[in-house]
Copies of this chain bind each other. A is one copy, B any other.
């Protein structure tokens, strides 16, 4: 299998290196052959080529079976008014590869519950899967800017909503059969369309699934007050961005959470949901679990290697169980380096 690795910026190279080590250990143990190619994206690509998504990177990603990404961005390229910005590379590759469904699972690990700001009794049994629409909405709309004003257009087509809702319902079938669609239908026209389409798809195509609707503001509360009440949550791009960062607090740290971005084509992209964390870049203390778990999702969704994916997930579970915590998780206690955390996972795989 052919895997493109896009380390990106900040802690990106450190966490992707860890996940690559884990993928290679899995290859050895199960006698697979993974061919890994590194390419540039984000700020690193701007520095080397002047553009955040070089043609060579996109071409390699298109030809690959899967893409593993670290993170992009950092103070060096942070002037929001610069013509070229690292984030553009990330948005552009998601769009170019047609990766419209971003899966963000959140299952608080018992050993990491101490790091969550949420009371422990609310977290037992929480098992969420947010399906965030990733290639539409206001992040991809027409923009204007004049001396005295600015605008961003949020738009959705019926087809864009159908495919992501369908994906969410299919995923719910393999889980508890419950889908919560989040919108702001009491105010926004795109949300009213979203609600209509979600209702129709669930009714006509998924009679076995229960669909409920929540307004995004209420959902920001319910995620905290009753996180066990949800199974699959499907929502548009920006609401998904905000709600998944909020939901990450249920798991104790953003650093633990993986994501999978899927389309109808063959290539999928996998990345931790954290950012490039420039403040700790280069110190060897970044939490690699989110990227390692993203590699597990890569094996499951892009390569069909469920057993191998499970092997990584169990290794991570066991390491967390044994208290192998990176700095973001070890409140005051004994924090392990990126390398030590990775070694603990590798040990449990080999």
Contact = CB atoms under 8 A, between A and B. Distances in A.
Interface of A: 73, 80-81, 85, 87, 91, 117-119, 122, 138-139, 141, 143-145, 147-159, 184-193, 195-196, 216-218, 220-221, 224-225, 238-239, 241-246, 248-249, 254, 275
Given A80-B195, A118-B118, A188-B138, A149 B157 contact: yes
Contact of A189 (B150, B191, B238): B150
Contacts of A186: 73, 80, 85, 87
A187, A188, A239: residue with the most chain B Cβ atoms closer than 10 Å: A187
Given A189-B143, A242-B220, A157 B148 contact: yes
Contacts of A139: 187-188
Given A141-B151, A152-B189, 8 more contacts: A80-B192, A117-B122, A138-B154, A148-B157, A149-B155, A149-B193, A150-B155, A220-B242
A304 to B, nearest CB: 32
Contacts of A80: 185-186, 191-192, 195
A175 to B, nearest CB: 23
A85 B188 CA distance: 12
A132 B122 CA distance: 29
Contacts of A118: 117-119, 224
Contacts of A195: 80
Contacts of A275: 218
Contacts of A245: 217-218, 220-221
B151 A254 contact: no
